[in-house]
Structure 1
């Protein structure tokens, strides 16, 4: 089933961003910067609660000018329109003000489940601080503290439970019905995404259908090419919603997230004539978070001048250096140039991300990596990498056990990723490394010296060694 989408709405400075960071357990929220929306809309995957979900943070509403700031209305309208539930935050310390009532009246028009959250309640009695907000008619308020996490877990569990009951009749997305390599094609509006999809499947062989039960209406296109089965996931078709501008309908961050999570390989299409934009980097960040194999296609290459081609190549080097493992293709979706090579890379990335590796081979590579480049000293002690095993595929996930491994710097983790990728030819896919600290069986145990001498363990051991040195060796008895 598609992930639940939850939108955070409220006045400025009521704690929406703090709650967003609390729910996503991250402070590097992805900013969706694209035409028609303001810069402070943020998307992230919720990790607080029993099930994952998508959180959308919106800009603050002033509640002025007939109930809502018109400059922010488009942003909030789009966020609420694609959400399954709305969390309406108010400031418990400030109490109920007319702006909150105006925003509540505005939210009611969307006919979405609304949950009233009375924030900044730390140090106050719940009944007293929530008393003023009952008159808003939004049901029982949740009294929380997004800064301290008070009652946040209980609140989100309640919301997820209610939303699950509302959508329990929806059909689940059965990935077995979509055979072969599932490829999500993502990109900004008008970058040639639909043209590329038609070129990949062939105009005469397009078999597109709307998958029932998926809340985001992604289009799944199954086809066969040279004996290999594929399913293209197109995010271009977005359901039209009332009073939403057309350019917003053409693109949805939520649809892109869901398409990537149900795919094996992600193809990011970039318009070569416009270069690498902030919106492209936003989608790239989402692709990295999904952990899927990645291929970058620079479209409209045949229409670029030599100066434009030199510029885009330079941008690829300094803007996309953090995804140097992803192969870049210079293509023309309209004329088909380079599309055949795109299929070869998709196949290579898929088979690499699904490649099984034995534990013995992993440990052999790990041992050689440690010999070539020793882990650093942490607190005067060398970090020890004892053994590793494969914890999952698509993306490959390596579990490394050892002592102090949780304190390894990021640079050494990147070194291990590159070593594993090169050794096992994990091309085009991120390599996830998780560390498990090996427990010390003697931790917490004290030696007999400590009890006998009343000193610390190290002092007792040193005293014992000194006494041992002073003792003379016993002379051997003479035998006749």
Structure 2
């Protein structure tokens, strides 16, 4: 098995910085703000051919209140899951009561723990050794995560021959290839405005409290990838931060969260768009849906917090959804309660259908037959007295399905006729939950840049005709 290493410590000691350094990524949001990380963030890392999993966690201070209590619970859960724990302390600040509390917990859990003194710059190593020796976790390993100093000696201690990395063998003594934790199967991004219930829905779909849930807008900051299986079918859920109007985003941290949420949309196969039933559809929802359609992702709309509403309110919400979401008629609409679980199980059926439609494969012969039938029923319009000719069609890509139509004068095909073709292909191929793109390709005229050279006889004839034309024109003017 691949060793799992958890990074724990007080807030703002450099856990996310070390996470990004080890995974050679920028998956964890880093800023000079205490308590920035809230959910467990898993990442794959490699050192000297050895693969391992790093878990970034929220800070533990010992005096948590409100949302910090849930964050600390996530960190303690990561400690239980890990094979080894890197306990980070701040070398510049020194030992604190919170450090002693965390060290006491780690000693009780009997975990393979390494004491890491971060922010080595400007600190004396001898003073670091004396400062943290009373924690009872051995000699601290001094590093500077921001600059990459002493990272290799730290990994040598953790993953070396005396560390937690070990090679498992089968019955014949052959080494077993490690299983890597990464995105698998259908990638499902859960997006929406802040505080509409995205993290609650993720936990309900997983059947466990995997991400932090709190009645506060902006609880989720990182984009969390969670691979799992349901009925032997692989999925990866992506929990994202809520996206507010641009004018209401002031903090740099929230800007990074929004960027990661939009990147998750492009990385996903299917997007579950969560709407608050009590607030209805607002302009920001429409902007987000527009981004999903531009990215070409399959879509499922989930109207959350449906429980507790009376019938008149439900009827009004349904009418508003039908009116404002007319441009997403291809997407399935579900009315759910993520808190109580009603209607959540039905989301998987729509997700599977949308993913299957987005990744569909159709032979060129079948595509051309559908195009010919559509043209026979409703021909393209005339352009400059000539009929637009659409000759054949083929599939040019998937997620979303791209239908490439070849013909003449295709630049003049009106948007209304393109919508007619999209609806025809959707109906015949039974595609649901995914947008369709129709692209046109026309053949170039081989004689466009070629001019015929006139013979002497043709030149003289042209001159005689021009002279006759001028004489006739002059006679008409004289008669007037």
> Matches of 1:287 and 1:444 in 2, distance apart?
42
> Matches of 2:274 and 2:252 in 1, distance apart?
18
- Residues 399 and 433, structure 1, Cα contact 8 Å, conserved in 2: yes
> Matches of 1:372 and 1:323 in 2, distance apart?
26
Matched, 1:390 2:383: no
Matched, 1:261 2:262: no
- CA distance 1:450–1:375, shift in 2 (3 Å): farther
Cα-to-partner distance string for 1:439-462 (whole Å, 9 max, x where unaligned)? 123434456889853489xx9xxx
Name 1:56's counterpart in structure 2: none
Name 2:140's counterpart in structure 1: none
> Matches of 2:208 and 2:327 in 1, distance apart?
36
Cα-to-partner distance string for 1:250-281 (whole Å, 9 max, x where unaligned)? 99432221011110000100000011011111
Q: Determine which of 408, 415, 418 is the counterpart of 2:420.
A: 415
Q: CA deviation at 1:249?
A: 3.4
- CA distance 1:334–1:365, shift in 2 (3 Å): same
> Matches of 1:2 and 1:437 in 2, distance apart?
43
> Matches of 1:2 and 1:379 in 2, distance apart?
56
> Matches of 2:422 and 2:385 in 1, distance apart?
25
Q: CA deviation at 1:246?
A: 7.8
Runs of 4+ more than 3 Å apart:
244-253, 442-456
- Residues 391 and 407, structure 2, Cα contact 8 Å, conserved in 1: yes
Give the SS at the match of 2:241: coil
Cα-to-partner distance string for 1:297-346 (whole Å, 9 max, x where unaligned)? 00111122212111111111111111111111111111111111111000
- Residues 386 and 400, structure 1, Cα contact 8 Å, conserved in 2: yes
Give the alignment of 1:117-136 within 5 angstroms: none
- CA distance 1:248–1:2, shift in 2 (3 Å): closer
Name 2:193's counterpart in structure 1: 188
> Matches of 2:259 and 2:272 in 1, distance apart?
17
Q: CA deviation at 1:380?
A: 1.4
Give the alignment of 1:433-452 within 5 angstroms: 433-445=438-450
Give the SS at the match of 2:440: strand
Name 1:343's counterpart in structure 2: 348
- CA distance 1:236–1:445, shift in 2 (3 Å): closer
- TM-score when scaled to structure 1? 0.53
Matched, 1:361 2:374: no
Cα-to-partner distance string for 1:208-254 (whole Å, 9 max, x where unaligned)? 9xxxxxxx84210111111111101111399xxxxx87898399432
> Matches of 1:350 and 1:407 in 2, distance apart?
33
Which of the pair has more CA radius of gyration?
A: 2
Give the SS at the match of 1:430: coil
- TM-score when scaled to structure 2? 0.53
Cα-to-partner distance string for 1:157-189 (whole Å, 9 max, x where unaligned)? xxxxxxxxxxxxxxxxxx993110000000111
Name 2:329's counterpart in structure 1: 324
> Matches of 2:337 and 2:444 in 1, distance apart?
55
Cα-to-partner distance string for 1:60-105 (whole Å, 9 max, x where unaligned)? xxxxxxxxxxxxxxxxxxxxxxxxxxxxxxxxxxxxxxxxxxxxxx
- Residues 194 and 236, structure 1, Cα contact 8 Å, conserved in 2: no
> Matches of 1:441 and 1:347 in 2, distance apart?
47
> Matches of 1:307 and 1:245 in 2, distance apart?
38
- Residues 218 and 237, structure 1, Cα contact 8 Å, conserved in 2: no
Aligned length: 276
> Matches of 1:365 and 1:451 in 2, distance apart?
53
- Residues 236 and 251, structure 1, Cα contact 8 Å, conserved in 2: no
Matched, 1:273 2:259: no
> Matches of 1:359 and 1:367 in 2, distance apart?
12
Structure 1: gaps of 5 or more residues: 4-174, 209-215, 239-243, 460-480
Name 2:409's counterpart in structure 1: 404
Name 2:473's counterpart in structure 1: none
